[in-house]
Amino acid sequence: MDPQHYMRLALELARSASEQTSPNPLVGAVCVKDGRILGTGAHLKAETPHAEVHALAMAGANSIGADLYVTLEPCAHTGKTPSCTDLIISSGIQRVFVASIDPNPSVNGAGIGLLKVAGIEVITGILQEEAEQLNQAFFHFIRYGKPYVTLKATATLNGRLSTQNGDSKWITSAASRTDVHHLRHTHDAILVDVQTVLHDNPFLTTRLPHGGKNPIRINLDRHLRTPNQRMLLQTAL
């Protein structure tokens, strides 16, 4: 029943949409009044409603006087639809609990500021660390203007990857290869050098037991040495 309890649920909802909101961040929202959950929501896909919209729609008229828990500061920019900040104000929400501040220059405190101006109490910092961890790729991109990169490296004891005549076997374990496919599923793109394409002829697709999202495949090949027969070019995503 404490604020962390509801924020943890909002984080869980946010996490449920992992790998499906890019380039947007993962966000969850929970609407609560008198210890009773009135609405829950998560942002599920770019260009579809934000988490707050789902949670407030579910709460309906009961949102008047209620608390709203959001894992990321509500947006403040009005586009095709009203901003979440406006929606929260017009829904009669009394208190807003925010886990992490949106570093996006178009928000970055503006959402919270507008809520306060409207007389809404705003409590920040609830489970902030978990919330920032959840969106580390998004935060990194906004802060540094660069993609968040995961490097996959393999090594052998003697530094060799194949025998003299090019024979080679998997260096990594089955668990590590499952990890790789999970990483492909959770990343927007995968980048290799043409040498990898020439020697390993990889698909670079996601092959998990129950499917998964394929990353965009980037092949650094400045002299266009990739032959047509490579798997990379033979498999459509």
Residue type for position 168 = S
Considering the complex, what minimum distance in angstroms separates the CB of residue 110 from its own copies? 27
Which of the following is catalytic: 12, 19, 52, 132? 52
CB atoms within 10 A of CB 20: 15
Considering the complex, what minimum distance in angstroms separates the CB of residue 74 from its own copies? 19
Closer to its own copies at the Cβ: 41 or 111?
41
Closer to its own copies at the Cβ: 16 or 150?
16
Under the rule (CB under 8 A), what is the footprint of its own copies? 1-3, 9, 12-13, 16-17, 19-20, 30, 34-42, 44-45, 54, 58, 185, 208-213
The DSSP annotation for 155-191 comes to: --TTS-SS-TTS-----S-HHHHHHHHHHHHHSSEEE
Told to judge if 52 belongs to the known catalytic residues of this protein, a careful annotator would answer yes
Considering the complex, what minimum distance in angstroms separates the CB of residue 54 from its own copies? 6
- Gap between the Cα atoms of 219 and 231, Å rounded: 12
Task: Name the residue among 3, 174, 171 with its Cα closest to residue 99.
Answer: 3
Considering the complex, what minimum distance in angstroms separates the CB of residue 45 from its own copies? 7
| Distance set, CA 66 to CA 31, 35, 91, 110, 221 (Å) | 7, 10, 9, 22, 56
- Gap between the Cα atoms of 225 and 22, Å rounded: 32
Integer-rounded Cα Rg, in Å, for the chain is 22
- Name the residues annotated as catalytic: 52
